[in-house]
Amino acid sequence: MLLDRVIELGLEAADKFPRRRRAPWAAQQRTLKKLLKKARKTVFGRAYDFAGILKSEEPILAFQQKVPAVDYNGMFTPWWERVYEGKEDITWPGGTEYYALSSGTSEANTKYIPVTEAMLKSLSRGAFRMFSCFPDYGLSADVYTASWLAIGGTTQLTKQGGRRFGYLSGINAREQPLWARGFYKPGQRIARIENFDDRVEEIARNAPNWNIGVIVGIPHWVQLTLERILEIHQLETISEIWPDLELFVSGGVDYRPYVKSFERLIGHPIKYMNTYLASEGMFAFQRNATAEGMQLLLDNGIFYEFLPFNEENFDDEGNIRPNARALTLNQVEEGREYALLTTSCNGAWRYLVGDTVRFLDAKEAVIQISGRTKHYINLATEHLTVDNMNAGVLAVEQAFNVRIPEFTIVPVKDDQYIAHEWYLGSKDVLDAAAILPVLDAALGEVNDDYKSERKTALQIKVNTVPLQRFYDWQRQSGQVNGQSKIPRVLKGAAKDRWLGMQA
Q: What is the pLDDT of residue 5?
A: 45
Q: Which pLDDT score, from 0 to 100, does residue 66 have?
A: 97
Higher-confidence position of 180 and 310: 310
Q: What is the DSSP letter of 143?
A: G
- Map residue 89 onto helix, strand or coil: coil
Of 279-283, 298-302, 314-318, 322-326, least confident by mean pLDDT is 314-318
What is the C-alpha to C-alpha distance for residues 56 and 33, in angstroms, rounded to an integer? 11
Evaluate whether 381 touches 453 at the Cβ level (below 8 Å): yes
Asked if 406 and 467 count as a contact pair (C-beta separation under 8 A), the reply is yes
Region of poorest pLDDT, from 79-93, 126-140, 209-223, 423-437: 126-140
pLDDT of 176: 72
Q: Which residues pair with 421 in a beta bridge?
A: 410, 461
Res. 9 pLDDT band, cuts 50 70 90? very low
pLDDT, position 167: 85
- pLDDT over 60 at 19, yes or no: no
Is a pLDDT exceeding 70 seen at residue 7?
no
Q: In 3-state terms, what secondary structure has residue 16? A: helix
- Phi/psi of residue 186, nearest 5 degrees: -90, 10
Q: What is the pLDDT of residues 150-190, one digit of tens each?
A: 998 888 888 888 889 888 888 887 777 666 677 789 988 99
Predicted local distance difference test score (pLDDT) of residue 484: 84
Report the pLDDT value the prediction gives residue 108, as an integer from 0 to 100. Answer: 44
* CB-based contacts of 361, cutoff 8 Å, min separation 6: 293, 334
Under the banding of pLDDT at 50, 70 and 90, the label for residue 252 is confident
Q: Return the percentage of the chain with pLDDT > 90, whole number.
A: 73
CA 337/CA 250 separation, integer angstroms: 22
Determine the average pLDDT of the residues in 410-432: 94
Higher-pLDDT residue of 314 and 162 is 314
Report the first-to-last Cα separation within the chain, whole angstroms: 60
Q: How far apart are CA 477 and CA 48, in angstroms?
A: 40
- In 3D space, the residue among 107, 200, 117 whose CA is nearest the CA of residue 152 turns out to be 200
- Res. 39: pLDDT tops 80: yes
Angle, in degrees to the nearest 10, between helices 386-400 and 432-446: 130
Give the mean pLDDT of the chain: 90
pLDDT at 213: 96
Q: Is the separation of the CB atoms in 449 and 383 below 8 Å?
A: yes
d(CA 189, CA 171): 15
What pLDDT does residue 104 have? 53
How far is it, in rounded angstroms, from Cα 279 to Cα 273?
19
Q: In a 10 Å sphere around its CB, with 0-12 CB exposed, 13-18 middle and 19+ buried, how is residue 290 labelled?
A: exposed
* Distant-in-sequence, close-in-space partners of 435: CB < 8 Å, separation ≥ 6: 396, 400, 424, 462, 464
% of the chain beyond a pLDDT of 70: 93
Gap between the Cα atoms of 155 and 407, Å rounded = 29
Average pLDDT over residues 451-466: 96
Give the separation between CA 383 and CA 396, rounded to whole angstroms.
Answer: 21
Span of 148-162, 187-201, 393-407 with lowest mean pLDDT:
148-162
CB-CB neighbours of 49 under 10 Å: 15
272 or 503, greater pLDDT: 272
* pTM, full prediction: 0.89
CB atoms under 10 Å from CB of 169, counted, come to 26
**Chain center to CA of 63:** 27
Please choose, from the candidates 248, 244, 279, 284, the residue with its C-alpha nearest in 3D space to the C-alpha of residue 263. Answer: 248
- Looking at this protein, which amino acid is placed at residue 234? Q
CATH 3.30.70 in the chain, residue ranges: 386-502
Q: Please write the tens of the pLDDT for every residue from 71-97.
A: 999 999 999 999 999 999 999 999 999
How far apart (Å, rounded) are the C-alpha atoms in residues 5 and 369?
Answer: 37
pLDDT above 70 (res 360): yes
Confidence band (pLDDT; 50, 70, 90) for 21?
low
Backbone conformation region of residue 287, classed left if phi is above 0, alpha if psi is from -120 to 50, else beta:
alpha
How many residues are given for the chain?
A: 503
Q: What angle do CA 268, 274, 278 make, to 5 degrees?
A: 135
Integer Cα distance of 273 and 134 in angstroms = 10
Average pLDDT over residues 362-384: 92
Buried b (16+ CB within 10 A) or exposed e, 403-430: bbbbbbbbbeeeeeebbbbbbbbbeeeb
pLDDT at residue 502 in the model: 58
- What pLDDT is stored for residue 103 in this prediction? 61
316-344 pLDDT per residue, tens = 788 899 889 999 999 999 999 999 999 99
pLDDT confidence of residue 2 = 40
Q: What residues does 489 pair with on adjacent strands?
A: 409
Report the CATH architecture of 386-502.
Answer: 2-Layer Sandwich (3.30)
Residue 383, φ and ψ in degrees, nearest 5 = 50, 50
* CA pair distance 392, 260, nearest whole angstrom: 15
Window from 132-136, 163-167, 251-255, 450-454 with minimum mean pLDDT = 251-255
SS3 content of the chain, % helix, strand, coil (to 5): 40, 25, 35
**DSSP 8-state assignment for residue 162:** T
Q: For residues 216 and 119, give the distance between their C-alpha atoms in angstroms, rounded to a whole number.
A: 20
Q: What 3-state class would DSSP assign to 465?
A: strand
Phi, psi at 348, each rounded to 5°: -95, 135
